[in-house]
Structure 1
Amino acid sequence: MVVGVTGSLGNLAALHAAVAEARRCEAPLVVVNAWTPPGGETGYRRAPWRPLLDLCREQAAAIVETAMSDAFGGPPPGVTMSTVLARGQAGQMLVQLAGQPGDLLVVGAGRRGRFARLRHGAVARYCLTHASRPVLAVPQPDLLRALSSRPRLQPFRAATDQLRP
C-alpha cells in the first residue's frame, strides 16, 4: 500500500482511505512525500548547496508528520507504516514505489475545475496513466468542494468607502 502525502486538506482524505485499506488488507503502508529542490533539479545543478537539500528533506519529513497528526493525532494505530522522502517528481516517484505485485497506489484526485486540474491534477493523472498496479483515486471531500465553490466575500474596505461624506 503506497500513499502520497502533501499535507493539503484534500490529501488527508486519500491518507484516511489508504490507512483503511491497509487495515482491511493487513498490509504495510508506505507514506511518501516527493520533493524537488527550489528551482528544480536543473536550478540545483547550476548552484548546488548541500544545506538546501537537508532543509528540503527536513521540510518533507515535517509535512508527513503534520499530516499524520492532523489526520489521526499521530501514527495510525494498527498499521505497520514506513515513510519515504523521495527526491524527484511526485507522480514518477509514486509510480516507481508502487511497482511490486500486490501494491495499491492511493492518491488524492484533486479539484474538478478546469483551471484547478491544470495546477493540481497532474500527479493523480500521471499515476492513473503510468502505473502498472491498481490506483485508488480518492475524490476531494464534499466540504472542501462546497467551500471552494462559495462566492468570495468583498473586502471590508469596499463597505467603508460608502460611509465617507
Structure 2
Amino acid sequence: MTTRRIVVGVDGSPSSVDALRWALVQARAVGADVEAVTAWQHPSAPGWAGHPADGDFAADVARKTLDGVLVEAADPEHPVRVAARVVRGGAVPVLLAAAGDAELLVVGSRGHGGFTGALLGSVGQHCVQHAPCPVVVVRHAPVRPSGR
C-alpha cells in the first residue's frame, strides 16, 4: 500500500508558513503524510570560493528555519505525520524532485527575495509550470488590525 504524500516548500517566509498550515489541514482531510522541504545553497559572489564549513553553517540555518516553521504551523490537537528534509540545491529543482511521486506540491506565493509587489514568486511560477503533480499556491494573508 502506497502512502499518500503532500510535499510543501518551506523557506521561513510568512507565505511558506501559511503553505505548511494549508498542507497539514489538507493532509489530515485526505489521510496523507506531509513532507516539508527546505532547500539551501552556498552563498555565491564573484571571486569568492567560500569555505567548506560554510555549507555546514548554511545547512544548520536551513534546519533551524524549517524546525521553527514546523513548530509554528503545528496543530497539537490535530497531529499529522510530517517528514522534514533539508536538501542542498536550488529551491526549484529540489522541490520538483521531491514532488516526483507526490500527489500534491504546496508552495507559498512569495518567498524571501525578488520583487515584493509580485503576486507570484519565481519558485512558485516554475513549480506551477513544471511540477509532475498538481500544485497549490498559498497566498499569505496578513493579519489586519481588529475593526477593519
TM range (shorter): 0.7 to 0.9
Q: Residues 15-164 of structure 1: matches in 2 within 5 Å? A: 15-39=20-44, 47-72=49-74, 77-100=78-101, 102-110=102-110, 115-116=115-116, 121-143=121-143
Gaps of 5+ in 1: 148-165
Change beyond 3 A, Cα 1:117–1:94: farther
CA RMSD of aligned residues (A): 2.8
Residues paired across the two proteins, number: 138
Change beyond 3 A, Cα 1:28–1:128: same
Deviations 1:83-136 (A, max 9, x none): 111111111211111011x5200001128xx94256970110010011111001
Which structure has more RCO (C-alpha within 8 Å, separation ≥ 6)? 2
Change beyond 3 A, Cα 1:134–1:76: farther
Contact 1:110–1:117 (Cα < 8 Å) also in 2 = no
Query: SS in structure 2 opposite 1:98?
Result: helix
**Superposition misfits of 4+ residues, deviation over 4 angstroms:** 117-120
Using structure 2 for the length normalisation, give the TM-score. Answer: 0.80
Distance (whole Å) between structure 1 residues aligned to residue 124 and residue 68 of structure 2: 22
Gaps of 5+ in 2: 1-5
Contact 1:108–1:137 (Cα < 8 Å) also in 2 = yes
Deviations 1:33-78 (A, max 9, x none): 00101117x87xx6253211111111111001111222237x8852
Partner of 2:3: none
Using structure 1 for the length normalisation, give the TM-score. Answer: 0.72
Change beyond 3 A, Cα 1:6–1:120: farther
**Larger helix percent:** 1
